[in-house]
Amino acid sequence: MQSNPTLKTLQAQVEGMDCPNCAQTIQSHLDGASGIRKATVSFSNSKLEVAYNSEETTETEIRQRVEALGYRFKTAATTPAATSTKSPSVWQFWLFTRRGQELLLAGLGFLLGGWAQLAGLDAWIWQIFYSISIVTAGWRVARAGWIALKSGKADMNLLMTVSAVGAVILGEWVEGVMVVFLFSLGTNLQSFALGRTRRAIQDLMALTPTTATVRRGEEEVELQIEEIVAGDRLLVRPGQRIALDGTVVSGTSSIDESAITGESVPADKSIGDEIFGGTLNQAGYLEVEVTRTCEDTTLAKIVRLVESAQASRAPAQQWVDKFAAIYTPAVIGTAIAIAIVPPLLFAQPLTEWVYRALVLLVIACPCALVISTPVSIVSAIGAATKAGVLFKGGHGLEMAGQMQALAFDKTGTLTQGSPSVQQVYVLGDTTAEQILSLAASLEQTSEHPFARAILERSQEENLVLQSPQNVNVWPGLGIAGELDVGQVWVGNHRLLAAYGISLPSEEASWRDAGQTVVFVGTSDTLLGAIALADPLRVEAKEAIHRLQRTGIERLVMLTGDRWSVAQQIAADVGMKEYRAELLPPDKLTEIKELRQQQDTIGMVGDGINDAPALAAADVSFAIGRNDLALETADIVLVGDDLRQLDYAIALSRQAVATIRQNIIFSLVTKGVFLLLASVGIAGLIAAVVADVGTSLLVTLNGMRLFGVRSR
């Protein structure tokens, strides 16, 4: 089947979206346009993707349609970003961003208006302050409601705007300010969280250098990575980041692949080995034949996986938006009917029924409903922060307690993330102390993680080290030099083979035990071996036991390490299920398969390689200090302690129960007074008192979550 040359895809950034409703408005507006086959708009990453027939419409027309709605349209970049902007802290967001400043000004206007009113000042004074608050907090809400109305939709933004205007017309200024201020506060908090996630993805993209040195013919040329094609030969010197995926055709080196695989131990690379763009060359000189261009590298795919997974999930908290799609038109339609039907059909006084319609709009504005969820979330988040757990929004708080399965990364999550000496094996005529001393003496000048681990063990045992002479370093193999016993070398099985020495028979059992072995010998004799491994976190076993008691049905470990290592770690922590030798796309596949088997899946990780799986899970937890894992995850274990997981789950369950209580109470109360107001039994004062009373009760109920403490 041949492809249709007229069917094209447009990708763009859309700026100015204030809430998920904005994304839905743009998408519905484009879906009905001539020539557009499919439009997808993601509020989480501000991206638009349109499949269109170029014979029926153009990119310019699509741009004009988006900009006519009041949004800014920018064609999306297709290559990794060279730089990224550091995301602001909480106080920087409120003080130095326009959205934060607007809300602070609105809050100040609200406070000054209340003070002026209570002080008995002239009405025009406190009305000016209230007006400042309503305009600064509500103009974005009003704009979103107007845009939705132009597209034939009536959403919660429109109802909030109409209710605020109605309250002002009726003289209920405080009610009008509360409507827009609380609603705007919620959207600002959401915008802050999403902005940090977008910038974290930019940080990941910035791992790829913008230029690289390429050999073409007999010349070395510096090219932009967009100019490099498959088959070109990259020249990679020590300390440089590798620009693109490829295969080593010359040289040997150790490569820090933690950005891709998450493994802390550098991988030894030689001719024929695959290498990833964005990884760091440590010691040797390499020539790499490019196999993937900048748009198709493994790192670029990880970026797309993160963005796609984030865009596809819909937080349970957004059910209010769906509710508003029915509730808002119904309320506005009812108010219009109340205002015009009695005067037209039954000769009733117009002013009286317009007043009743405005009262209905004010009563219908769901202030208690708006407050009910945020106050519970803020209270729970406050309690969690004191306990060392950071919930980054309502989604994680709602979903953590609903998990049936929880997947774990291994390196840096269940383990400490750096190797340490586990055992010294004596194979020749010497002692374990001598083997460790010889190895540490040679490794004093090396930056390899194994070298640091060996030196740390020698320091713990207070060994006296020698100063080696004539030191030779062979990247990807090992190191050799002259000590008091003659020439000594330390290296892997490849260096062992280079000296013509056979592997010891015990090597296979060491590997099966999950250990990585460094051999120590002289020019013709194997003296011994030093076994290293990434040790478990001290709290890992207890944390897994606590989670099993919470009733989670499945705990699964996902790792890029060998099967033998995975088996050993799983047994040590008490987990029955594990998957090994996984790249980031494989981890994402495992998460998707788990989602087919269980309703709600969680993921715990610490590295860049975990980002796609973290984003794809229903709820994700980050441990450690990797920026992207922290920004991608819904929940961060700030205390770097896995035992905080069961507290997060318990708090989530209690918070969800409280939110449900508040929502039900708010809706029932609202329904009763809507009915009473519609028949003229309840007036505006009674309705406002009832709404404020309901708001107070749900606030107090939500604040109880401040008292939930870690066990």
Ranges of CATH 3.40.50.1000 domains, the chain:
390-414+537-645
Q: How many CA atoms lie within 13 A of 222 on its CB side?
A: 3
Distance CA 466, CA 624 (A): 36
Ranges of CATH 3.40.1110.10 domains, the chain:
420-533
Mean pLDDT across 476-502: 88
Ranges of CATH 2.70.150.10 domains, the chain:
211-296
Strands 36-42, 47-53: pairing is antiparallel
Active site positions, annotated: 409
Phi, psi of 450 (to 5 degrees): -65, -40
Nearest to 221 by CA among 212, 209, 230, 210: 212
pLDDT band at 314 (very low <50, low <70, confident <90, very high): very low
Distance CA 649, CA 619 (A): 11
Specify the CATH architecture of the domain 420-533: 3-Layer(aba) Sandwich (3.40)
Cα separations in angstroms, 425 against 212, 428, 454, 496? 44, 9, 14, 16
Mean pLDDT across 690-702: 73
Task: Tell me: pLDDT of 313 over 50.
Answer: no
Task: Tell me: pLDDT of 85 over 50.
Answer: no
Task: Tell me: pLDDT of 83 over 70.
Answer: no
**What pLDDT score was predicted for residue 430?**
87
Ranges of CATH 3.30.70.100 domains, the chain:
7-75
**What pLDDT score was predicted for residue 203?**
63
Question: Counting every residue, how long is the chain?
Answer: 711
> Residue 669: in which H helix or E strand, if any?
helix 644-678
């802050």: which residue's tokens? Answer: 192
Task: Tell me: pLDDT of 316 over 80.
Answer: no
**What pLDDT score was predicted for residue 134?**
93
**What pLDDT score was predicted for residue 678?**
65
pLDDT band at 82 (very low <50, low <70, confident <90, very high): very low
Mean pLDDT across 297-324: 59
pLDDT band at 103 (very low <50, low <70, confident <90, very high): confident
Mean pLDDT across 513-521: 86
**What pLDDT score was predicted for residue 608?**
62
Q: Read off the tokens for 409.
A: 């990364």
pLDDT band at 172 (very low <50, low <70, confident <90, very high): confident
Q: What is the DSSP letter of 487?
A: E
**Lowest pLDDT segment from 60-64, 357-361, 373-377, 569-573:** 373-377
**pLDDT tens digit sequence for 558-568:** 988 888 888 88
Domain 390-414+537-645 in CATH 3.40.50.1000? The answer is yes
Q: 679, exposed or middle or buried, with CB in 10 Å at 0-12, 13-18, 19+?
A: exposed
Task: Tell me: pLDDT of 113 over 60.
Answer: yes
**Lowest pLDDT segment from 76-80, 137-141, 610-614, 631-635:** 76-80
**Lowest pLDDT segment from 33-47, 414-428, 438-452, 674-688:** 674-688
∠ CA 467-470-476 to the nearest 5 degrees? 100
**pLDDT tens digit sequence for 231-246:** 999 999 998 999 999 9
**pLDDT tens digit sequence for 598-624:** 878 999 988 666 778 888 888 989 886
User: What average pLDDT does the structure give for the chain?
Assistant: 81
Specify the CATH architecture of the domain 211-296: Distorted Sandwich (2.70)
pLDDT band at 189 (very low <50, low <70, confident <90, very high): low
Nearest to 564 by CA among 410, 697, 363: 410
**What pLDDT score was predicted for residue 401?**
86
Report the CATH number of the 7-75 domain: 3.30.70.100
Cα separations in angstroms, 22 against 52, 115, 187, 225, 551? 21, 35, 12, 36, 39
SS3 content of the chain, % helix, strand, coil (to 5): 50, 20, 30
Higher pLDDT, 65 or 188: 65
**Lowest pLDDT segment from 212-216, 380-384, 412-416:** 380-384
């929940």: which residue's tokens? Answer: 635
Nearest to 210 by CA among 198, 227, 197: 227
**What pLDDT score was predicted for residue 710?**
66
Task: Tell me: pLDDT of 707 over 90.
Answer: no
**Lowest pLDDT segment from 111-125, 356-370, 644-658:** 356-370
